Each structure stands twice: as C-alpha cells, then as structure tokens.
C-alpha cells in the first residue's frame, strides 16, 4: 500500500521525468489503492485540491473564443505566469483527472461542464480521430484510437449518458459540435489489425494490448457499437468491468453503460 500512496502524492527524484503526467500518476495510484481495499488511505482533500489546480480554460479557437476547459500537466507554480503550453488542456490528462476526482468523492459541481464539452469537441478532428490538445503541434501528432476512450468516458463523467446521445449537438454557449458517434466508431475500427487481431495506436500501427483495450472501451461507449459487438458495462472512472469496480469499492454512480467484449471475436 505504501508505494501507490507515496507515488500519487510525491514523486522520487528518479521519477521526475513523469512530473508532466502527474494527474495520470495520481489516477493509477488511486486505482491501486482501491484494489488493495485501502482507498481511504489517500488524503482526499489534499489530492482533490491539487487536481483542481490543474484545471485550465482557454479560448477554443479564434473562431470560437468561448473558454474550452480541461486538465493540464500540473497546477500553477509560485512565481510563474501561469501561461505556456503546459497550461493547455490535454485529453488524456483530462480523463485521468476527472476519474481521479470522482474516485476521491468529488461531485464535480464546481466544474464548468460547458467549457469541458467545448474542449472535447475541439479535440475531435473531422475524420473522427482526436488531437491530444488544442494547439497546432498537438493536432499534428498521429491520431490515436485509444483516445476514443478518453474522450467518450470524459463526456460521460461530466455530462452523463451514452456518447450517441451526447454527439451531434453543439456545446452549450458555443457552436462547437461533438462529432456524431459513427465518426468516432469508424476511425477506431480503422485501427484494427486484421491480420493478427486487436487494435493498434492508429491504422498504420500493429496491434498491442494497451490500444486494443482502450479502443474496445471507447467503442463500448457508443450504443450502436455496444449492441453490435456484445459488450458489457465498465466503470467510466476506472475502465474496470462493473463487477470488479463495485467489488473494489467504486460507487455505482461511476459505472456507465460501456464495456469490454464478453468473449473473443476473430475479426478484431
């Protein structure tokens, strides 16, 4: 228990390279504590406060200046201007921070849900793939199939409901629509490795377990794909099957109608 508790709050010098991924480190540490049955060991107030400091809202684009909010690499540092690329919302870190806050018992009532939806809409590209963030350099990175899980699960944690129900409409207060769910599904399915099975990072990559898991989970957030592929529910805040999440003490409110494949199927 000591390691995940320590790693979630303060990194040793040897692990300083992971400092830019602190919300993700917090998330993994909390999952470990829950599985050990020691979720209460984490100092929830301090952890929630630190994660909230990682939230930032910036203009979604020149055409849509309304704030787009998400979570960044780290919170403000004393003496810093609070500006720069490190204060740009990141898709993966937004998922990790939202999930961690829910696991820590945060209600997210303080969060500007509309601004988060604008960020998630802005991160989507026209082919159904996702950029990791808002700036041009991030959009130029190769699209990643696993990002469908980060985006879809973040939508569910903030707004509730299936991705199908949330997609296709404009974000409140702006005109940035969430792409229809079939765009998300189509891009993710293109990342299948038809020769060996599974999913890769993108259509040019071979399959690997990490992206296969996230791609399946992302597909399972869409009712149409869930019905066609036979998927079961998982927890949006952990990615664990619902039965495992419940036994680990994750509240039922965090379990959404997403899922992992009930049995292997040859086409993937």
More confident residue, 17 or 119: 119
Domain that holds residue 187: 2-191
pLDDT for 267 equals 32
Q: Indicate the number of domains in the chain.
A: 1
Q: How far apart are CA 116 and CA 166, in angstroms?
A: 13
* 254: its two tokens: 């965090």
pLDDT, one tens digit per residue, over 40-85 is 777 788 888 888 988 988 876 676 677 888 998 765 444 434 444 4
% residues pLDDT > 90 (the chain)? 3
- Residue 42 inside a domain? The answer is yes
Give the separation between CA 36 and CA 203, rounded to whole angstroms: 37
Of the candidates 110, 121, 109, 22, the residue with the CA atom closest to the CA atom of residue 67: 121
CATH number at residue 107: 1.50.10.20
243 occurs within a structural domain: no
pLDDT at 158 over 70: yes
Say how far residue 192 (Cα) sits from the centre of its chain.
21
DSSP 3-state of 59:
strand
Which range in 193-197, 254-258, 259-263 is most confidently predicted, on average pLDDT? 193-197
Phi, psi dihedral angles at 134 (to 5 degrees): -100, -25
Distance (Å, whole) CA 226 – CA 257: 9
Residue 209 pLDDT greater than 60, yes or no:
yes
CA dihedral 146, 116, 163, 156 (to 10 degrees): 90
pLDDT reading at 27 higher than 50: yes
CA distance 9 to 11: 7
State the Cα angle at 103 between 165 and 147, rounded to 5°: 50
Which residue from 162, 167, 23 is spatially nearest to 103, judged by alpha carbons?
A: 23
Indicate whether 253 belongs to any domain.
no
| Calpha distance 53→45 (Å, rounded) | 13
- In a domain, residue 197? The reply is no
In a domain, 21, yes or no: yes
Q: What is the pLDDT of residue 19?
A: 52
What would the two tokens of residue 164 be?
A: 């199908």
| Helix or strand run (H / E) with residue 238 | none
Q: How far apart are CA 4 and CA 112, in angstroms?
A: 30
162 found inside a domain: yes
If one compares 45 and 172, the residue with the highest pLDDT of the two is 45
Tell me the three state secondary structure of residue 40. Answer: helix
Q: Identify whether 66 is part of a domain.
A: yes
- Number of Cβ within 10 Å of residue 195's Cβ equals 7
* Residue 14 lies inside a defined structural domain of this protein: yes
Alpha helices by DSSP H, listed for the chain, are 2-9, 22-35, 44-53, 91-103, 113-123, 136-139, 147-159, 163-166, 181-190, 209-219, 223-229, 242-247
């Amino acid at each position: 228990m000591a390691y995940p508790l320590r790693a979630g709050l303060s990194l040793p010098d040897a692990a300083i390279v992971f400092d830019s991924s602190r919300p993700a480190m917090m998330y993994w540490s909390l999952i470990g504590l829950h599985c050990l049955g020691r979720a209460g060991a984490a100092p929830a107030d301090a952890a929630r406060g630190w994660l909230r400091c990682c939230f930032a809202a910036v203009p979604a684009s020149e055409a849509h200046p309304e704030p787009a909010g998400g979570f960044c690499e780290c919170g403000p540092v004393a003496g810093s201007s609070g500006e720069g690329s490190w204060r740009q919302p990141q898709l993966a870190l937004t998922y990790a921070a939202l999930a961690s806050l829910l696991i820590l018992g945060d209600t997210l009532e303080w969060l500007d849900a509309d601004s988060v939806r604008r960020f998630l809409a802005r991160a989507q590209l026209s082919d159904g793939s996702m950029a990791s963030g808002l700036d041009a350099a991030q959009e130029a990175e190769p699209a990643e199939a696993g990002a469908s899980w980060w985006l879809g699960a973040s939508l569910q944690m903030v707004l509730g409901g299936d991705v199908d129900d949330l997609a296709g409409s404009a974000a409140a207060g702006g005109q940035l629509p969430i792409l229809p769910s079939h765009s998300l599904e189509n891009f993710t399915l293109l990342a299948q490795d038809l020769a060996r099975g599974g999913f890769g990072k993108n259509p040019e990559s071979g399959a690997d377990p990490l992206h296969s898991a996230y791609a399946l989970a992302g597909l399972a957030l869409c009712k149409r794909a869930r019905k066609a592929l036979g998927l079961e529910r998982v927890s949006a805040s952990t990615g664990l099957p619902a039965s495992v999440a419940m036994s680990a003490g994750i509240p039922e409110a965090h379990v959404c109608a997403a899922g992992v494949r009930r049995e292997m199927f040859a086409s993937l």
